[in-house]
Every structure is written in C-alpha cells, then in structure tokens.
C-alpha cells in the first residue's frame, strides 16, 4: 500500500533560515519539493557536484585495484578531511601515471626504430662528422639494394630482416648522396640507454600502481566519508535553491511532503521553531512523492516493483497483489526442490553468519528465503530433486505424496495456462477497482462488463449443466455485458464514439488476451528445460567418471557440483527475469497500471 501524505508549506524568517534547515535535516522526514531551474546558476552547488563526481570516480578506481590474498583491507574509520587529501593524492598519481605512460610509449617506439641497427653510441657518429665524414642511415628492400653503392658511397650493410636491408653510407662532407630509398632518422640515444630509460619508466609506473593499491587498502573509508559529506552539502544546497523569497526577501517559503505517520513530530518541531506553517491534503495535479508501506511478506517484494516504476499517488500499489503470483511463478520456473532447499539453506546461514546487515539486505535475504521455499514446494509437483526424481523411491510416504500432488508434463502445461488466466482476470478486477478509486464507479462499468463476460464464458465451459453456453440466461448476460462494453466505455462522450471505442476494445481483447495467456507457457517450459539439463549433468557425472575407486568418486562429484552450479545460476536468472516479464507486461497491462510516481526521499543527513 501507499503511505498517505500531507502537503507542508512553511515560512521562515531569513536570519533564522540556515539554522532552521539544519534542524529540519536532523528531523529527517520532510520531502522537499525541488525547483530545478535554480540549480544550474549556483556556483557552489556545481563545484560540489563536480567534486562528488571526482570522488565517485576515484572511489571506483581504488575499488578496482587488485589485492594480495593476505592483504588487510580497511572497511571502517576514515574522515572526510583525509578523504579530500586522498583525492588530491590519487589525482597526482594519475597525472604522473599518464605522463609516464606517454614517455614509455615514446621509448618503445624509439627502441623499435633502433632494433635493426643494433647497439651503438651516437657519440661515435658525431665524432666521425667532426672528422669530416657524413654518416647516413638507409633501409630498402633486398632487390632494390645495389652492390655498386658500396664502392661509390662506402655503403655498409648493418642488418637484413625479412628481405629488408639496413645499411649506412660513409662519405666526405659535402658529397651528395642520391639514393632513391628510405632514409632513417635515429634517436639521440643508444639502444642500451633507451633500454635503461624504458625499464626505469616501467618501474616508476609499477611504483605508482603499488601506491594506488596501498591507498585502496587503507583509504576507501575516508573517500566514502568525504562522499557522504559532499552529498549532504549538495542536498542542503538544493533545498536552499528550492526556497522562494517573499516579503522583500525577508521570508523564505518552502514546500514539502510528509507521511501522515510523521505529522505529529513535524508539528511539534514547527511549533517550537519560529516558522509559520500549513499542513493540507494533496489536491488533484499535485506530484505527491510515493512511499510504499507494505508489511511483512509484501514488503520484501517492494524492490521488484521499484525495478519497473512506482505507482502514482492515486493508484493502487500492486505489490501485495503480484507478490503471491511472483512467488509461485519463480518456483515453477526453477522447478527443482533440491535447488530450492540449497538456496534457502544458503540464505539462512548467511543471515546468521554475516554481521551488521542493513535492513535492505535483510529484506533481500528474506525474499530469497521465500522464493527458495516456493521452489522447494512447487518442485514437489514434479518430484525433481537435483535432476533426480524422488518419486522413483519406493517409500510409502513418498508414494503417498506422489499420489496426492504429482503432476505430469501435460498437467503442468495446463497449470501454467490456468495460472495465467487467473492472474489476468485478477488484474482486470484490480483495474476496475483502480478506475473506481481514481475516477468513479461509472468509469469501471465497461471493465466490469468484460470481467463478467469472460467469467460467464469460462463458467459455461466448466459447468455446462448449470449455465449452458449460448443458453437464454447466458445470452442475456452476454447482452448486458455488450451494452456496457459498447455504450459505456467512455462516460460523457458521444454514443457513436463509445461504439467505435467498444469495437477497438473488442479487437484488442480478442487479439491480446490469448497471447497474454499463452505467455505463461514459459512457466512450464523453463521448469522442464531446467529439470532436463539437471538430469543430463547427473548422467554425465555417472557416465564420465573413471572406473577407479579413488578418481571415480572425485570426478563424479566435480562434474555434479560444477554442472549443477552452472544450471542453478542460469535457471535462477531465468526464474527472476521471466516472472518479472509476466508481472510487468501481462499483469500490469491488464490491471491498467500507469505508474510514474516519484520516490519519497526525505531531507536528512
């Protein structure tokens, strides 16, 4: 369900405004209405946003650093001041790292140019030039090299690599050398000196990387502390910018929203402060923030609803209504009692072993436990347990359980379609309720007509002796439904427009309803494919194990564990994605869900 909200407006004297905002932030329950147009013009806010982006990038950089197995990584402590110092240190290291990388690339290029010429001292070449001789470096293909150059220009072949000739000419200064080949310009260092520079630069880069690893082991908490402080300043600046100035800039006007449950605390706070305030109910057109307030089991499914979008304030929260279906659908898609038992055990052990779990993490683990329990019990419908069929056991209890709940593939196929039809019909009922709440009962009449029509057809097919299909009572029911569908689907509009919309609605229902129901076949298909693949891994584990008393069991266990781990990962992923698809597309569509609500985010530290 959606928590009821109250609209809060208050005026504060400008000299007491900052103190008032700090107190309001400590209270931590008021959702401030932000006015985005002022944000761009605020230099301080923009500086803080840029600083926040730098901190986030630095935090991600350090979190990606590799650590030794025995490394001790700090997870607590740290201060915001130290975090800003670390930010500057990392920036300097990154700048130096980039400069060294460019130098390293330059040295690598120069090394490649000298490799063919070997290691020589450029100083010796300069000494020859001082003595009146010009030394030039050339390269050409083997076929272009001419032997007469050795006599004419004192050409000396230095190296031959892949049919390419590297040679030098030694001539007296002033003598022109006319060779139609590529002339090389060599670096001012010897190959040995370049190797030294390259290795020193590489070592400097390694040292920078070590410093980054060291910072990642000790200073991440400081960066996180700085990040929190900057985010708090950003939120405070946004609230300041969201304030309107009235009465010659002497008064500050702020608008916000509070849950009804917090109304007394807010009133008590405002009565003690020097602020005029007004608390009112939302009116149509208000963009009311959404706070989901489900309890127990249904609260654990709220993150799934948020993955799609939050409802509008005047809509039904569908979380409690899709939660039971999602739980069953997950179990059918995974379809293996052994997998369900493994997931439940793992989540339960983690809850007991892990320390300082956040409320959000606890709710996620509770959701995993519920979905795992559903998998265990729905897996009993087919008897699949880690790819094996427990109903092959000739135990009295197992055989009695098989007689009570076992379903073959045809029955599982029909069960999937039946569940789909039930959820779609349930969604249409919720659509009628939603229309009644939002617009009034008359806007839900056409939807109720479709519900009665479909239910009467289903009843006549299932119980022909009570209400025969096409009988006079049934035709009367169909006629009344047709009147509501074609004449009352858009109250207040022209009758011909209503008839046209009725035909359009009928076309969409005829083409869409069957496709929506058939979409639920995936519940059967995913469970069947996962069970078959689990059975294949069992067969591989038995068939591929060698006939050896020691190696045989080891190989069999390895294949069994690895195979089922892969299968479980793939099937858990599918068991989450496909029920979400059925919920967000088929169920939400047929329930008339619009969504688009903005999440309630109180102004707090």
pLDDT for res 597: 83
Specify the pTM: 0.68
pLDDT for res 203: 92
Report the distance separating Cα 350 and Cα 218, nearest Å: 26
Phi, psi (deg, nearest 5) at residue 603: -80, 110
Q: Where are the domains of the chain?
A: 2-83+218-289, 120-189, 296-593
Report the distance separating Cα 461 and Cα 353, nearest Å: 54
Q: Between these two residues, 537 and 603, which has the higher pLDDT value? A: 537
Report the distance separating Cα 306 and Cα 328, nearest Å: 20
Residue 556 has pLDDT above 70, yes or no: yes
Highest averaged pLDDT of the listed ranges 309-313, 326-330, 512-516: 326-330
User: Reduced to 3 states, what is the DSSP secondary structure of residue 515?
Assistant: helix
Mean pLDDT value across residues 71-83: 77
How does residue 329 score in pLDDT terms, banded at 50, 70 and 90?
A: very high
Instruction: List, for residues 483-526, the tens digit of each pLDDT value.
Output: 887 877 777 676 777 778 778 777 777 777 888 888 899 888 88
CA 339 to the chain's CA centroid? 25
Q: What is the mean pLDDT of the chain?
A: 83
| Token code pair at residue 44 | 């301080």
Q: What is the number of other CB atoms lying within 10 angstroms of the CB of residue 121?
A: 13
Mean pLDDT value across residues 359-384: 90
Residue 40 has pLDDT above 50, yes or no: no
Pairing mode, strands 31-32 and 384-385: unpaired
């Amino acid at each position: 369900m959606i928590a009821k909200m109250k609209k809060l407006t208050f005026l504060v004297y400008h000299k007491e405004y900052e103190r008032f905002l700090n107190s309001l932030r400590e209270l931590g329950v008021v959702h401030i209405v932000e006015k985005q147009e002022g944000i761009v013009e605020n230099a301080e806010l923009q500086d803080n946003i840029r600083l926040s982006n730098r901190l986030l990038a630095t935090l991600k950089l350090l979190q990606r650093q590799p650590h030794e197995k025995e490394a001790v990584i700090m997870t607590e402590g740290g201060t915001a001041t130290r975090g800003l110092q670390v930010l500057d240190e990392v920036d300097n290291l990154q700048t130096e790292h980039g400069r060294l990388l460019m130098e390293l690339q330059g040295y690598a290029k120069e090394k490649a140019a000298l490799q063919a010429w070997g290691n020589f001292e450029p100083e010796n070449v300069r000494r020859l030039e001082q003595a009146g001789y010009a030394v030039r470096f050339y390269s050409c293909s083997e076929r272009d090299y001419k032997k007469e150059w050795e006599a004419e220009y004192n050409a000396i072949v230095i190296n031959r690599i892949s049919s390419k000739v590297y040679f030098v000419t030694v001539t007296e200064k002033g003598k022109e050398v006319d060779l139609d080949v590529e002339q090389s310009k060599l670096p001012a260092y010897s190959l040995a000196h370049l190797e030294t520079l390259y290795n020193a630069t590489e070592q400097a880069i390694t040292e920078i990387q070590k410093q980054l690893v060291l910072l990642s082991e000790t200073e991440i908490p400081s960066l996180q502390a700085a990040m929190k402080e900057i985010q708090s300043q950003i939120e405070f600046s946004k609230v300041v910018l969201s304030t309107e100035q009235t009465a010659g800039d002497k008064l500050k006007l702020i608008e916000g929203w509070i849950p009804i449950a917090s109304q007394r605390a807010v009133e008590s706070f405002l009565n003690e402060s020097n602020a005029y305030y007004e608390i009112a109910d939302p009116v149509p057109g208000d963009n009311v923030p959404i706070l989901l307030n489900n309890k127990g089991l249904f609260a654990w499914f709220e993150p799934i609803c948020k993955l799609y979008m939050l409802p509008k304030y005047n809509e039904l929260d569908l979380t409690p209504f899709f939660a039971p279906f999602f739980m069953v659908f997950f179990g059918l898609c995974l379809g293996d009692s052994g997998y369900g038992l493994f997931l439940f055990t793992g989540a339960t052990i983690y809850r007991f072993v892990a320390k300082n779990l956040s409320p959000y993490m606890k709710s996620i683990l509770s959701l995993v436990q519920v979905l795992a329990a559903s998998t265990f019990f729905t897996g009993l419908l087919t008897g699949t347990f880690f790819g094996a069929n427990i109903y092959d056991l000739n135990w009295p209890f197992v055989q009695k359980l098989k007689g009570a709940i076992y379903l073959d593939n045809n029955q599982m196929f029909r069960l999937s379609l039946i569940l789909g039809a039930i959820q779609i019909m349930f969604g249409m009922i919720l659509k009628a309720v939603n229309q009644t709440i939002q617009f009034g009962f008359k806007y839900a009449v056409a939807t109720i007509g479709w519900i009665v029509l479909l239910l009467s057809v289903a009843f006549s097919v299932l119980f022909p002796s009570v209400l025969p299909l096409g009988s006079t009572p049934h035709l009367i029911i169909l006629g009344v439904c047709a009147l509501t569908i074609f004449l009352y689907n858009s109250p207040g509009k022209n009758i011909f427009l209503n008839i046209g919309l009725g035909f359009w609605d009928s076309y969409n229902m005829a083409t869409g309803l069957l496709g929506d129901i058939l979409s639920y076949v995936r519940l059967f298909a995913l469970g069947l494919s996962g069970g078959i693949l689990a059975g294949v891994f069992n067969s591989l584990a038995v068939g591929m194990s060698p006939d050896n008393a020691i190696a045989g069991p080891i190989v069999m266990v390895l294949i069994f564990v690895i195979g089922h781990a892969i299968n479980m990962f793939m099937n858990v992923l599918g068991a989450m994605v496909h029920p979400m698809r059925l919920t967000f597309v088929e169920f939400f569509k047929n329930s008339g869900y619009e969504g688009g609500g903005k999440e309630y985010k109180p102004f707090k530290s």
